[in-house]
Amino acid sequence: MGAVGPVRATQTVRNNAVTLELDSGLALSALRYMILTREVEDRIEKKLYRQGKIVGGVYVGRGQEAIAVGAGLAAEPDDILFPCHRDLGLYFMRGVLPRQVFAQYMGRVGGLTRGKDGNMHMGDLNLKIVAIISAIGAAIPVAAGAALSLKYKGLPHATFVFFGDGATSRGDWHEGVNMAAVLKLPLVLICNNNMYAYSTPLEKQMACQNVADRGPAYGIPSEIVDGNDVFAVCQAVRRAREHACSGQGPYLIECKTFRMTGHAAHDAGLYVPKHLWEEWAKKDPIERLERLMRTRGWADQAEIDQVYKDVRNEVDEAIDWAEHSPYPDPAELLDNVYGPEG
Ligand SMILES: Cc1ncc(C[n+]2csc(CCOP(=O)(O)OP(=O)(O)O)c2C)c(N)n1
C-alpha cells in the first residue's frame, strides 16, 4: 500500500458535538494502518531483534494501535505531532515508509536519522513530526513551545503531544501543561494509559484514579476515552482539536488501553497478572475494528484477509530494501548532529 497519503476523517459539528462520518473507506484506511503498524513492529520485535539485526532497544505499541491511528485520522496535515514510543502509526499516516522504519532500527543510512541511531528517536520536520525525546515527560514543554509558535504566528493549527500514564507523574509534564493552560495554547494532550509505566502499575505511581483527573488542576477540560476504539479516539481528538484551535487552550484526552507486550523487547512482562493478558486479548483493537466492519457490512473476511496479505508483502519488500541499505560512512559521523552543516 505504500504511503497512502494523508487520510482524514470528515466530520459534522452540531451543537458543539463532533460526529464522525463513518464509512467503509475510512474504516478500511484505519484497519490498514493498524495492521501495518502491528506487522512492522512484530517483525522488528519478534524477528529482527532476536536475529541480532537491531542496533538499539525496541518498544512497541501492540494493543495500542487505535490511539495513534485514531489521532492521525483526526489530525490536519499542518498540525505538529510529537509522538511517543508507542505511536508508530502516526509516521505511516504522514507518509513515512516502512522501509525507512526498518532501516532506522537497523542503523542504516536509509533510516530517518541516516544511521545515526538504531532506535525510535526519529522524526521528520518536513512532515511536522518532531523526533521522540527519550526523557519521559520532557516532550510536553517542548510541544507547548511548538503550540506557542503556532499561536504567535496566528496559524490555525494544533500541536498534538503523546505520552504514557507514567509521564504524567514527571515534573516537566506539569510545568508544560500549566504553561500551555495559562497561555491558552493550541495543545492537544493525548495520554495512552496502558496501566503500567515499565513494571510499575498505575496505582503505585499516582494517587488519583484517572490521568484525566489531572486536567481540572490546570483549568483545562479532560475526557476519558476507550483507547481500543479507533473511532472513539478520533472523535475525542477532533473535539480536542476544535477546542484548542478556537483559542480556548489545551485539552487532555486519556485513552484507556493495555500494553499487550512487555515494556520492551527484552522484557517478558512477567509482573503483569495473567488475567489482565487474557481480558485485554479479547479487546484487541484490530480484531475489534474487523468485527465492526463485518457487522456493518463494510468489508467481508476475504477483503480483510487481502489487507493482511498486502501488508505482509509490503513489509517483506521493506525489510529486504532496508537490509541492502548501507551502514553510514564513519567520516560522516558528525554531519547533521548539531545542524545542517555538521
Ligand atoms: C525521565 C526518564 N525516566 C526513566 C526513563 C526510562 N523509561 C523509558 S519508558 C519508561 C516507562 C514510561 O511509562 P509511561 O509513561 O507510562 O509510558 P509507556 O511506556 O507505558 O507507554 C521508562 C521508565 C526515561 N526514558 N526517562
Cα-to-centroid distance, 197 and ligand 1 (Å): 6
For residue 3, pLDDT beyond 70: no
- Pocket test of ligand 1: the residue of 41, 136, 257, 263 to mutate, having most ligand atoms within 8 Å of its CB, is 136
* Pairwise CA distance, residues 103 & 109, whole Å: 7
Per-residue pLDDT band at 2 (split at 50, 70, 90): very low
Burial class (CB in 10 A: 0-12, 13-18, 19+), 301: exposed
Cα-to-centroid distance, 227 and ligand 1 (Å): 19
| CA-136 nearest atom, ligand 1 | 26
For residue 117, pLDDT beyond 50: yes
Work out the number of other CB atoms within 10 angstroms of the CB of residue 76.
Answer: 12
Report H helices in the chain: 24-42, 65-74, 88-93, 98-105, 139-152, 171-182, 230-243, 274-281, 285-296, 301-324
* Pairwise CA distance, residues 37 & 18, whole Å: 27
Q: Which amino acid is at 313?
A: N
Q: What's the pLDDT tens digit per position in 186-229?
A: 999 999 999 999 999 999 999 999 999 999 999 999 999 999 99
Share of the chain above pLDDT 90, in %: 88
Is residue 259 a contact partner of residue 39, using CB atoms and an 8 Å limit? no
Is residue 307 a contact partner of residue 28, using CB atoms and an 8 Å limit? yes
* Pairwise CA distance, residues 144 & 297, whole Å: 42
DSSP assigned state of 120: S
- Beta-bridge partner residues of 82: 161
- What is the rounded average pLDDT for all residues in the chain? 94
Give residue 157's pLDDT: 98
Give residue 54's pLDDT: 96
Cα-to-centroid distance, 165 and ligand 1 (Å): 9
Cα-to-centroid distance, 272 and ligand 1 (Å): 16
Closest CA to 212 of 162, 251, 181: 251
Cα-to-centroid distance, 24 and ligand 1 (Å): 37
Q: In a 3-state reduction of DSSP, which class is residue 128?
A: coil
Pocket of ligand 1 (CB under 6 A): 86, 134-136, 163-167, 192, 194, 196-198, 259
For residue 30, pLDDT beyond 50: yes
Residue entry with cell 483526526: 74
Q: Is the pTM of this model over 0.75?
A: yes
Work out the number of other CB atoms within 10 angstroms of the CB of residue 46.
Answer: 14
Q: Mutual orientation of helices 139-152 and 171-182 as an angle, nearest 10°?
A: 20
Work out the number of other CB atoms within 10 angstroms of the CB of residue 75.
Answer: 25
* Pairwise CA distance, residues 71 & 240, whole Å: 10
Give residue 275's pLDDT: 98
Per-residue pLDDT band at 335 (split at 50, 70, 90): confident
Looking at domain 22-325, its CATH superfamily turns out to be Thiamin diphosphate (ThDP)-binding fold, Pyr/PP domains (3.40.50.970)
| CA-193 nearest atom, ligand 1 | 16
Residue entry with cell 509516521: 91
